[in-house]
A and B are shown apart, each in its own frame.
Chain A
Amino acid sequence: MTTDAQPATALTPVLSRNWDRPDSFTLQSYRETGGYEALRTALNTDPDSLVNMVKSSGLRGRGGAGFPTGMKWSFLPADNPKPRYLVVNADESEPGTCKDIPLMLANPHVLLEGIVISAYAIRSSQAFIYVRGEVLHVIRRLKHAVAEAYDAGLLGRDILGSGFDLDVVVHAGAGAYICGEETALLDSLEGYRGQPRLKPPFPAVSGLYASPTVVNNVESIASVPSIVANGVEWFTAMGTEKSAGFGFFSLSGHVARPGQYEAPLGVTLRELLDMAGGVRAGHELKFWTPGGSSTPILTDEHLDTPLDFESVGSAGSMLGTRALQIFDDTTCVVRAVGRWIAFYAHESCGKCTPCREGNFWMVQVLDRLEKGEGTEDELDKLLDICDNLLGRAFCALGDGAASPVMSSIQHFRQEYIDHVEQGGCPFDHRKSTVWGADS
């Protein structure tokens, strides 16, 4: 892999552009880089025009599913007299996904500005940030930013003299991956076990407290101020026709310089790896996830696949959260998949049988296979379980669990069989570690 060629796509830092200021998380710093100017513009705009603006920008949800954000907003029924709620999904926990946490740590105000604009646009006066509990310092920074915003008249009553009121509550979760699913999140926010609800009705019609509710990902909401400030054409000048704009691409694993790369959608892994110094020295790319563990794995055949919703879909996977977990030739795919399924089994909420039982049994089978105690027939058993999971589980957690199993058998069937034939794992796991590259 070349490391000196200039990639055709350039990075476009928008949400991360002030992160190298040591005080980037303060209100003063955010204002010095133009923060809250878009809010003034928005508060002088008709709310419906803002909804239309976000719609025409083509912004699609950055939390994995890619549903058009403006369209989600426009589904709120006009004739429902109940209060409307805006809920920010900050429960980032899809394996490999690590973009919202550094964003909220470094620049919580861009999220808050997005919340005020979005709440104004959908005519909501109460917003919640549901943040996973396992990130103490992020919660501190969010609460600090909320307090600063209240003091500055950017939250609370009559924001900037506009007559618009908004309260924001930072709500810490308690350790449950399923609460990243929007209806499970709402149940959790209502004080129940976080289990998904049957849809329809969708949250837009009957969400928090059975009121019209919009649930959006952190990065989606944080992208709104830049669209208001710079315009729809600016946003659509980045990305592709159907996957407009920019987003974080989070490289992790066996790569020379892992980290956050904010780029137009449609950038390729080859380009990103060039920027990141390539796969770690002396090794080759073996497999990778385009958007977290719930998106089917891809291989070096897919290095030039544009990372936009459509192209990754055509390649047999999903763009997801752009969580690019890179695994090199030292990695055992059976071990990797087995660990992911142990995760899905642990995090399955137990509500529906295919997911609760399917993941439990897949853990047993994968564990046997990894130890070399399985049989080749068990690959068919795994695929059979996946067949009962995919599209048959109550929510996307079950679909997600089928992804790594099915895609790994598709691309690496022989490696599973090698475990069976050799009676054990052919890999030395120490060589995969950060310190074991040269051992």
Chain B
Amino acid sequence: MSTTTTFSDEVKARLEVDAKEIIGRYPQSRSALLPLLHLVQAEEGYVSAAGIAFCAEQLGLTKAEVTAVATFYTMYKRRPVGDYHVGVCTNTLCAVMGGDEIFETLKEHLEVGNNEATEDGRVSLEHVECNAACDFAPVVMVNWEFFDNQTPESAKELVDDLRLGNDVRPTRGPDSLCTFKQASRLLAGFADDRATEGPQAAGPSLVGLELARERGWAAPDPDDLPPAPVLDEGEGETK
């Protein structure tokens, strides 16, 4: 963990170019604060004192103002996470479907607690709240990519592969994982070129559509609408 409170001149010069671009997207500069925090997290793997000082300087804010924001949001980390940050959903639905068992298994297997990284710095573990993939429960995220329908065994295999440097493929995501720092850069608004990789939709996302196709169901034909129901204007009734 860096103990200096400012970035080196080289880092600063490089990030200033990015910061200028980010600030330019917004009608008012302060709107750039969240992406700038993602940007400094992309540099160091967490939001350090130097990162906070950088954001403050770019936006003309005090370090206290930036710190107040950085500490409000769960995704900004105050200590370095692993290259691969593993989030296990333990909100009610995933927990009931097996997320609790997956989280316990991974804590034991990796010998880490919540929000801790393995000694080699490869993998960190956190329990996360609902990640909007409930129809794929139980869900595990790695660097904010979806690993759907997990079991304790599949999750163990996943983190073993991450530690060994083997390729792993998200179930609904690009062909391989980027690192936590690279993920943070994307969140700062700098796109990589992987948007077209991976499936458009999978499994549960398609069950309704497939059933509709099978049964010949569709939304009404706009050129052949059923007659509108005649409202019963019963005698003597007033609104």
Q: Which of these, B101, B129, B135, B204, contacts A430 with CB under 8 Å?
A: B101
* Chain B interface, number of residues (Cβ within 8 angstroms): 87
State which of B91, B96, B133 has its C-beta within 8 Å of the C-beta of A343. B91
Asked whether, in the complex, the Cβ of B209 is within 8 Å of the Cβ of A147, the reply is no
Q: Known contacts being A237-B228, A339-B91, is A327 close to B96, with CB within 8 Å?
A: yes
Chain A neighbourhood of B75, CB < 8 A:
133-134, 173-175
Interface-side segment among B5-13, B23-31, B109-117, B155-163: B23-31
The yes or no answer to A315 lying at the interface (CB within 8 A) is: no
Q: Taking the nearest CB of chain A, how far is it from the CB of B229, in angstroms? A: 9
How far is it, in angstroms, between the C-alpha of A137 and the C-alpha of B142 when the chains are bound? 12
* Contact across chains for B191 and A190 when beta carbons are under 8 A apart: no
Which residues of B have CB within 8 Å of A26?
196
Q: Are B210 and A275 in contact (CB under 8 A)?
A: no
- The reply to whether B207 and A191 contact each other, CB–CB distance below 8 Å, is no
Q: Which residues of B contact A340 (CB under 8 A)?
A: 91-92
The answer on a CB contact under 8 Å between A134 and B219 is no
Given contacts A95-B93, A174-B74, A259-B205, contact A139 B186 (CB under 8 A): yes
A138 to chain B, nearest CB (A): 9
A17 x B209 contact (CB < 8 A): yes
Cβ A174 vs Cβ B93 within 8 A: no
Interface size grouping (class) on chain A: 35 or more
CB <8 Å contact, B207 and A257: yes
CB distance from A100 to the nearest CB of B (A): 7
> How far apart sit A230 and B222, CA to CA, in the bound complex (Å)?
6
Given A139-B187, A194-B72, A343-B129, A258 and B212 touching (CB < 8 A)? no
B132 touches A135 (CB 8 A): yes
A260 interfacial by beta-carbon distance below 8 Å:
yes
What is the CA–CA distance of A94 and B134 in the complex, to the nearest angstrom?
11
A176 engages B73 (CB within 8 Å)? yes
Q: Which residues of B contact A170 (CB under 8 A)?
A: 189
Q: Are A260 and B204 in contact (CB under 8 A)?
A: yes
Whether A98 lies near B217 (C-beta < 8 A) is: no
| B residues in contact with A14, CB < 8 Å | 219
Complex Cα distance, B101 from A22, in Å, reads 34
CB-defined contacts of A17 to chain B, threshold 8 Å: 209, 218-219
Given A101-B132, A140-B195, A193-B69, verify A339-B208 contact (CB < 8 Å).
no
Q: Does A371 contact B (CB under 8 A)?
A: no
B97 at interface by CB-CB < 8 Å: yes
**Chain A residues with CB under 8 A of B28:** 190, 209
| Residue in A closest to B92 when the chains form the complex, CB atoms | A339
Interface contact B172-A105, CB-CB below 8 Å = yes
Residues of A within 8 A of B53 (CB): none
CB neighbours of B146 from chain A (8 A): 135, 137
Contact A171-B35, Cβ < 8 Å, known A13-B218, A13-B219, A139-B186: yes
Beta-carbon contacts under 8 Å, A159-178 to B: 169-177
What chain B residues lie within 8 Å of A259 (beta carbons)?
Answer: 135, 203-208
Instruction: Report if A141-B201 is in contact (Cβ < 8 Å); known contacts: A12-B218, A13-B219, A95-B93.
Output: no
Q: Output the least CB separation between B100 and chain A (Å).
A: 7
Interface set, chain B 206-239, CB cutoff 8 A to A: 206-213, 215, 217-220, 222, 225-226, 228
> Which A residues are in CB contact (< 8 Å) with B98?
433-436
A60 part of interface (Cβ distance < 8 Å): no
In the bound complex, CA of A163 to CA of B139 (Å): 46
In the assembled complex, which residues on chain A have CB atoms less than 8 Å from the CB atom of B144? 133-136
* A53 interfacial contact with B, CB 8 Å: no
- Is A260 within 8 A of B129, CB to CB? no
Q: Does chain B have a CB within 8 A of A43?
A: no
User: A96 at the A/B interface (Cβ < 8 Å)?
Assistant: yes
Beta-carbon contact of A106 and B205 below 8 Å: yes
Q: Are A140 and B194 in contact, CB atoms less than 8 angstroms apart?
A: yes
A181 to B: closest C-beta gap in Å: 14
A263 to B219, CA, bound (A): 9
Nearest CB to that of B198 among chain A residues? A137
Which residues of A95-115 have CB atoms within 8 Å of chain B's CB atoms? 95-98, 100-102, 105-106
A432 to B97, CA, bound (A): 6
The residue among A83, A134, A173, A275 with the most chain B CB atoms within 10 A of its own CB is A134
Smallest Cβ-Cβ distance to B216: which chain A residue = A10
Q: Is the CB of B217 within 8 A of A12?
A: yes
Instruction: Mark A residues whose CB is within 8 Å of B.
Output: 6, 10-14, 16-17, 19-26, 83, 92-98, 100-102, 105-106, 126, 132-137, 139-141, 143-144, 147, 169-177, 188-194, 209, 229-231, 233-234, 236-238, 246, 250-254, 257-263, 275-276, 293, 323, 325, 327, 331, 335-337, 339-340, 343, 346-347, 349, 429-430, 432-436
Name the 3 nearest CB pairs between A and B, nearest first.
Answer: A259-B204, A144-B195, A175-B74
A to B CB contacts below 8 Å, 5 in the list: A10-B217, A137-B195, A234-B222, A253-B96, A253-B137
15 further A-B pairs in the complex, CB-CB below 8 A; given A16-B209, A191-B69, A258-B136: A10-B212, A10-B215, A13-B217, A98-B135, A102-B201, A140-B174, A141-B195, A169-B25, A172-B188, A190-B30, A192-B33, A259-B205, A259-B208, A260-B205, A331-B96
